[in-house]
Structure 1
Amino acid sequence: MAALGLLATSAGPAGAEDEAESKVLIYTGTTGYRHAGAIDGGIGHIQNALDKAGIAWVREDCDGLGGAVGNCDHPDANPRVFTEENLAQYDAIFLFNASSQWLGGGRPGPLWDEEQRAAIRGFVNAGGGIAANHNAVDMGAGVTTWDWWDGGKDSAVGTLMPGHAASDLNNVATVRVADRRHPSTRGLPKEFSFGDEHYNFARSVRGDAHVLATLDEESYDPGPNAMGEDHPISWCKPYDGGRVWVTGMGHFPESYAANGGDNYLVKHLVGGVSWAAGKGAGGKCAP
């Protein structure tokens, strides 16, 4: 695993054909709340699954601002990573539990400055994809951090997360897969049980994005911000010239490690990353 501010890479499995191989930036930078357990416990399983899928990856990480080595504003971190020239080598960015600000206090934010945001937008405008999970779908703890990324219905995510169910692995929800043709859901059953810190969103994105999976709120305790009968948890859409795939799932390290990493969560995430990188038929993602 890479240390903070350092880089880890994979060339993909031996024998993979270069011209058919996608390359993904796995980004775990945080200036908001850091899901350290999920990041540290999940990254290896994600990397292994990407290797098996024939997707090359580079992992970049940073935490906090302040100029020190390992901080997101250090020259070795975000200022080097989020440039037009550097991002041009990738087909997709995977925001793996990345975060920008936390209202709990003591965290610096924002995650990206305006120049870095412009590079990300330019990457997507040029046809790049972004996949994001859990904290990256809630960059600002229920507050808009960047109107292009989160908040309004026309943003990349398309909503905010004002609250979530209890952080309890034993609060098991029934996940209902709405589209089993998409690369991120093709290997999943129609329904499966999943314990998580289940996210509740301010609005359903249905009609603005293609809903891939929903939560059945009657199967678990959704907490005070319940959404009701229509509770999307994973979705995708064409956006600003590129592709966006998101899921609220992925709080607990145990979920990534289950069955040695061969589990529904990892399959779902790697399929989403694959689609964001432009691989996989059947993933049109029209609303």
Structure 2
Amino acid sequence: MKRLAVAALAACWIPAVLAAQFNVLVFTKTAGWHHESVHAGVAAMQQLGKLHDFDVFWTADAGRVFNDRELAKYQAVVFMLTTGDVLDADQQAAFERYIRSGGGYVGVHSAADTEYGWPWYRQLAGHMFHTHPPVQTASLKVEDAGFPGMERFAPRNLFTEEWYEFHPAESSKLHYLLTVDESSYQPAVVKDRPGRGMGSFHPVSWYQQHDGGRAFYTALGHLPATYEDAVFRHHLYGGIYWAATGKGVKAK
């Protein structure tokens, strides 16, 4: 009997020990440009989940997960390289309720090129994409080294990226993490959507508390090989960790 009791206790103990620390939904639907880096991004997320003990569920099917029952399973939702109008009105409403209940949002690269016609999402994302020049190497500057995942960046970093030029901020609550020095590359765009860059302050990554939840965004991640970069991966995990748990940042 004693052995049976011990075995029963062990059976109850093992699942609790093995449980992941949180669950993350990775959403990759595109209704516009489809980045070739999507699969590299998903693979990086799955590997980060193994490294940091969180569960990852990946889908491009909005109808499958953007409802109250399914979203409640996740502590953070990653819009991984999404583009265009990816959610219908009911799905948008479910995602708003999810954030208001304390959920986390993580936007990667073209998540800022998503849902322009949804004002609430624009505020959640923080800035919306306007245009970009060709991929170039530039100098990336750390604005806040105290946020989770920022500790591996040097104060200035040589980084190769498709440097997004953004529209003005949609939220007044943004805390900026990374900027790019426009003097270190050529920001002008003459085709498609013309642009001249953003001047002396060109944001690349930021976070905010928004409507009861948490939002983190990074414009990095255009190139597939970027997802193999250990510094970038740690930056991405820091945003996921904060969005999912709220830990690692002092109240401001």
CA deviation after TM superposition for structure 1 residue 18, in Å: 5.7
Match of 1:213?
178
2:140–2:179 Cα contact (<8 Å) kept: yes
Identity level (%): 30
Match of 1:68?
none
Match of 1:247?
218
CA deviation after TM superposition for structure 1 residue 49, in Å: 1.6
The structure in which a higher percent of residues are helix is 2
Query: How far apart, in 1, do the equivalents of 2:65 and 2:250 lie?
Result: 28
Match of 1:27?
27
Give runs of aligned pairs for residues 1-287 of structure 1, distance below 5 A.
Answer: 17=17, 21-35=21-35, 37-61=36-60, 77-100=61-84, 110-139=85-114, 144-150=116-122, 155-166=123-134, 168=135, 171-203=136-168, 207-224=172-189, 225=195, 226-258=197-229, 263-282=230-249, 284=251, 286=252
**Structure 1: runs of 5+ lacking an equivalent:** 1-13, 62-76, 101-109
CA deviation after TM superposition for structure 1 residue 15, in Å: 9.1
2:20–2:54 Cα contact (<8 Å) kept: no
Query: How far apart, in 2, do the equivalents of 1:44 and 1:230 lie?
Result: 32
CA deviation after TM superposition for structure 1 residue 239, in Å: 0.3
The amino acid of 1:115's aligned partner reads D
Query: How far apart, in 2, do the equivalents of 1:16 and 1:191 lie?
Result: 42
Query: How far apart, in 1, do the equivalents of 2:169 and 2:66 lie?
Result: 31
**Rg bigger for which structure?**
2
Across the aligned residues of Structure 1 and Structure 2, the Cα RMSD in angstroms comes to 2.1
User: What is the TM-score normalised by the length of structure 2?
Assistant: 0.85
Shift in alpha-carbon separation, 1:252–1:15, aligned structure 2, 3 A: farther
Query: How far apart, in 1, do the equivalents of 2:107 and 2:217 lie?
Result: 5
1:91–1:128 Cα contact (<8 Å) kept: yes
Size of the aligned set, in residue pairs, is 233
Query: How far apart, in 2, do the equivalents of 1:231 and 1:206 lie?
Result: 16
Query: How far apart, in 2, do the equivalents of 1:283 and 1:15 lie?
Result: 32
2:176–2:207 Cα contact (<8 Å) kept: yes
Query: How far apart, in 1, do the equivalents of 2:18 and 2:144 lie?
Result: 30
2:58 aligned counterpart, secondary structure: strand
**Structure 2: runs of 5+ lacking an equivalent:** 1-13, 190-194
Shift in alpha-carbon separation, 1:201–1:254, aligned structure 2, 3 A: same
Shift in alpha-carbon separation, 1:208–1:276, aligned structure 2, 3 A: same
Deviations 1:119-139 (A, max 9, x none): 100000000010001111121
